[in-house]
Amino acid sequence: MNIDLHMIIVEVIGTAIALFFGYVKSLQIKDTKLYNMKTKAVDIIDSAVSTTYTHYVRSLKSASEDGKLTEEERAEALSLARKMAEETAQAAGIDLFKVLGTDILDYFINRSVQEQKGK
């Protein structure tokens, strides 16, 4: 009977260890998927800002006497870039607000705009 109890304890401990490592691995996979999704979201934002600059901002700047956007045009450009990023991300199965949050989304849009200005 001692041997049976000992074997049961060993099997229970072995199962618990296997479950623990399986759980840890699932967390790593989840973190990797979230990281990949965030990376894809930022790439989408950069692409949306670049496209907005190429197709909207550049033409407005060319038409402007001083080569600058008005406050309204700037706000419209940001709105267009954000909308394009949201639509592109949604088509890719990514909810930008869930993945990044509103504040971080605005940060990455503004960062991308600044990078685009530097080009």
CA atoms 79, 80, 83, 85: torsion sign: negative
In tens, the pLDDT along 23-33 reads 667 767 677 88
Take residue 8 and report the two structure tokens written for it.
Answer: 């049961």
Tell me if 111 is assigned to some domain. yes
Cα gap 108→52, rounded to integer Å: 15
Whether the pTM exceeds 0.75: the reply is no
If one counts the domains in the chain, the total is 1
Ranges in the chain, pLDDT < 50: none
Over the stretch 32-44, which tens digit does the pLDDT of each residue have? 888 888 899 999 9
- Domain coverage including residue 54: 31-118
Q: What is the Cα–Cα distance from 37 to 25, expressed in whole angstroms?
A: 18
d(CA 29, CA 13): 24
Q: Is 51 helix (H, G, I), strand (E, B) or coil?
A: helix
Tell me, yes or no, whether 89 lies in a domain: yes
